[in-house]
């Protein structure tokens, strides 16, 4: 078989034999039996070869993992106290994450609203992950295996939403060295984002 393009249309299949070692003649005989007795058309025969397969499998898995960091899922609604959202890839929340709520993602977390609860990005261990929120007031942020929490407020908590006193702007939390930094989302920070 020289045809390496595996085209799977209605009744065309690629096939692999497992278990008993078969000679070439035996394999051809088996394929003939299959094509003669069923609607299946065998387009190519896949060979099992551990040495070729393992690195191929690894690179595929790695690529899939990278893809899952980059592909995201939407969640619309406010996450309320006691609610927890766990997502395998990145997530974009359209709504607020209220105090007492928790959001966990293996990829990145983007919140189009206020983050007041806790967020855990890069739950699989990816330290490139980041958290972005339009209004960043997190109780706790965890990225990969580093945790940061909000500083204790000494002075009496004045009105949280007084726009004159507290400037609300989109911010990003990311890891640098062994610390989590929270910075306004400006061009230079955006350029450093690696997907």
Partner 1 sequence: MGEVIVITSGKGGVGKTTTTANVGTGLAMLGKKVVLIDTDIGLRNLDVVLGLENRIVYNLVDVIEGNCRIKQALIKDKKLPSLFLLPSAQTRDKNAVTPEQMQKLTEELRNDFDFVILDCPAGIEQGFRNAVAGADRAIIVTTPEISAIRDADRIIGLLEAAEMKRTDLIVNRLRVDMVKRGEMMSISDVVDILAINLIGAVPDDENIVISTNNGEPLVGNDTLPGKAFMNICKRITGEEIEIMDFTSDKGFAAKLKKLFKRNN
Within 109-148, the residues that bind partner 1 by CB under 8 A are 116
Q: Looking at 21-29, 44-52, 56-64, 151-159, which segment touches partner 1 (CB under 8 A)?
A: 151-159
Please say which residue, 91 or 143, places its beta carbon nearer to partner 1. Answer: 91
Q: How far is the CB of 102 from partner 1 (least distance, A)?
A: 12
- Cα 38 → chain centroid: 41
Q: How far is the CB of 81 from partner 1 (least distance, A)?
A: 4
State the Cα angle at 136 between 160 and 99, rounded to 5°. 70
Among residues 13, 17, 65, 80, the one that binds partner 1 under rule CB under 8 A: 80
Q: Check residue 156 for interaction with partner 1 (CB under 8 A).
A: yes
Q: How far apart are CA 82 and CA 18, in angstroms?
A: 50
Among residues 8, 162, 163, 177, the one that binds partner 1 under rule CB under 8 A: 162
Q: Check residue 94 for interaction with partner 1 (CB under 8 A).
A: no
Kindly report the backbone phi and psi dihedral angles of residue 63, in degrees, each rounded to the nearest multiple of 5, phi listed first.
-65, -40
Structure tokens at 96: 């607020």
Q: How far is the CB of 80 from partner 1 (least distance, A)?
A: 3
- Angstrom distances, CA of residue 3 to CA of 44, 45, 46, 125: 7, 9, 11, 40
Strand order across the beta sheet in which 179-184 lies: 72-76, 90-94, 109-115, 131-136, 171-176, 179-184
Please say which residue, 51 or 76, places its beta carbon nearer to partner 1. Answer: 76
Q: How, if at all, do strands 118-121 and 146-149 pair?
A: unpaired
Q: Looking at 1-9, 30-38, 60-68, 98-106, which segment touches partner 1 (CB under 8 A)?
A: 98-106
For partner 1, the binding residues (CB under 8 A) are 77-83, 95-96, 98-101, 116, 156, 158-162
């Amino acid at each position: 078989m020289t045809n390496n393009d595996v085209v799977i249309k209605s009744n065309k299949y690629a096939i692999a034999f497992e278990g008993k070692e078969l000679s070439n003649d035996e394999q051809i005989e088996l394929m003939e039996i299959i094509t003669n007795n069923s609607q299946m058309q065998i387009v190519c025969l896949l060979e099992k070869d551990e040495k070729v397969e393992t690195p191929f499998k690894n690179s595929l898995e790695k690529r899939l993992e990278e893809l899952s960091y980059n592909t995201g899922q939407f969640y619309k609604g406010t996450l309320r106290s006691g609610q927890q959202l766990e997502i395998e890839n990145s997530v974009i929340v359209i709504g607020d994450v209220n105090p007492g709520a928790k959001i966990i993602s293996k990829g990145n977390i983007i919140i189009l609203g206020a983050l007041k609860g806790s967020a855990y990005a890069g739950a699989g261990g990816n330290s490139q992950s980041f958290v972005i929120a339009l209004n960043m007031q997190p109780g706790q942020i965890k990225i990969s295996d580093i945790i940061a929490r909000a500083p204790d407020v000494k002075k009496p908590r004045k009105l949280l939403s007084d726009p004159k006193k507290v400037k609300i702007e989109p911010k990003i939390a990311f890891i640098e060295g062994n610390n989590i930094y929270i910075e306004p989302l400006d061009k230079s920070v955006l350029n450093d984002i690696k997907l």
